[in-house]
Amino acid sequence: MLKHGDVWRAIDRLAAKNGLSASGLARRAGLDPTSFNKSKRATREGKPRWPTTESIAKILTATGESMTGFVALMSGRGGGPARRLPLIGYAQAGAAGYFDDAGYPVGRGWEDIDFPDLRDPAAYALEVAGDSMMPVYRSGDVIVVSPAADIRRGDRVVVKTRKGEVMAKQLLRQTAQKIELGSLNPRHPTRSLEMSEVRWIARILWVSQ
């Protein structure tokens, strides 16, 4: 029996398989970026709202995925095996004991979530809290981070300073001495840090929305 949640789960997994958020997948397919937001998955009365067949056809075309592959994603078989990712709250990330000096997750206190395998054994997830990253990331969103992924100008990244500050930014420029970070929230200024101030920097691969 086809279930409402399975179809939306397949859309989320297809997005993750292609290194996109749900809104990024919609945008690539030429749809409204909010088409697959969680707020669109049910009516105000709580009645399940199904994605249209047209929207599914468009995301399959945009990603080159077959219908057979999409059906496999509904059951978790597509896009590689699912695995457990370590998860902590965004505010906890600033505390000592959760990361090593290279930005890899260590220690205790992590929870776990199921996620399609990203082929990065060090990938982990952070749960966003507060509104400092609005409108891109909202409180309650989960961002998946890879400390092993290559980072290029324009990528969205998580940075931890040696003072324990953790921030999600866009990488604008990086030299051997300095790093320039653009704020996702327009109310917050661009940050420029000496590399000696940076404990680690890791690329954001995916965000739930």
What pLDDT digit, counting tens, does each position of 165-190 carry? 888 889 999 998 999 999 877 788 88
Cα separation values, 9 from 108, 124, 140, Å: 29, 19, 18
- The CATH code of the domain that includes 38 is 1.10.260.40
Of residues 48 and 192, the one with the higher pLDDT is: 192
Position 99 pLDDT exceeds 90: no
Q: Are residues 122 and 203 in the same domain?
A: yes
Confirm if 68 and 53 have CB atoms less than 8 A apart.
no
Rounded Cα gap, residues 107 and 144, in angstroms: 18
Q: Are residues 65 and 92 in the same domain?
A: no
Q: Are residues 92 and 195 in the same domain?
A: yes
Tokens 């468009």 belong to 58
The DSSP-derived string for 82-139 is EEEEEEEETGGGGSTTSB-TTS-B-SS--EEEEEE--S-TT-EEEE--SSTTTTTS-T
What is residue 15's three-state secondary structure? helix
What pLDDT digit, counting tens, does each position of 115-174 carry? 655 666 778 888 877 666 677 777 778 888 888 888 888 888 989 899 988 888 899 999
Structure confidence at residue 195 (pLDDT): 94
- The CATH code of the domain that includes 192 is 2.10.109.10
Number of domains in the chain: 2
Residue at 151: amino acid letter: I
Q: Domain span at residue 68?
A: 4-74
Q: Are residues 68 and 87 in the same domain?
A: no
**Is pTM, for the whole model, over 0.85?**
no
- Max distance between CA atoms of the chain, in angstroms, equals 57
| Residue where a domain stops, chosen among 25, 50, 74 | 74
pLDDT category at 196 given cuts 50, 70, 90 is very high
Q: Are residues 47 and 90 in the same domain?
A: no
Rounded Cα gap, residues 181 and 190, in angstroms: 6
